[in-house]
Amino acid sequence: MKVIASSLRKGNVVDKDGKLYVILFAENIHPGKGTPVTQLDMRRISDGVKVSERYRTTEQVERAHVEDREHTFLYGDGEGYHFMNPETYEQVAVPAEDIADQAPYLLEGMAVQLSLHNGVAIAMELPQRATFEVVDTEPTTKGQTASSSYKPAVLSNGVKTAVPPHIGVGTRIVVMTADGSYVERAKD
pLDDT in tens, 3-46: 898 888 877 888 888 888 888 888 999 988 889 999 999 888 87
CB burial string 59-75: b at 16+ within 10 A, e below:
eebebbebeebebbbbe
Residues of the chain within CATH 2.30.30.30 domain(s) are 2-62
Q: What is the 3-state secondary structure (H, E, C) of the chain?
A: CEEEHHHCCCCCEEEECCEEEEEEEEEEECCCCCCCEEEEEEEECCCCCEEEEEEECCCEEEECCCEEEEEEEEEEECCEEEEECCCCCCEEEECHHHCCCCHHHCCCCCEEEEEEECCEEEEEECCCEEEEEEEEECCCCCCHHHCCCCEEEEECCCCEEEECCCCCCCCEEEEECCCCCEEEECCC
pLDDT tens-digit readout, 122-167: 778 889 899 999 999 988 766 655 567 888 999 999 999 999 888 8
What pLDDT score does 24 carry?
A: 80
CATH architecture designation of domain 67-125 = Beta Barrel (2.40)
What pLDDT score does 146 carry?
A: 57
Query: So what CATH class is 2-62?
Result: mainly beta
What pLDDT score does 8 carry?
A: 87
Instruction: Identify the band that residue 114 occupies on the pLDDT scale cut at 50, 70 and 90.
Output: confident
**Percent of the chain predicted with pLDDT > 90:** 39
Burial class (CB in 10 A: 0-12, 13-18, 19+), 153: buried
Q: What are phi and psi of 112, to 5 degrees?
A: -130, 160
Residues of the chain within CATH 2.40.50.140 domain(s) are 67-125, 129-185
CA distance 178 to 115: 18
Q: What is the CATH number of domain 129-185?
A: 2.40.50.140
Q: What is the pTM of this model?
A: 0.68
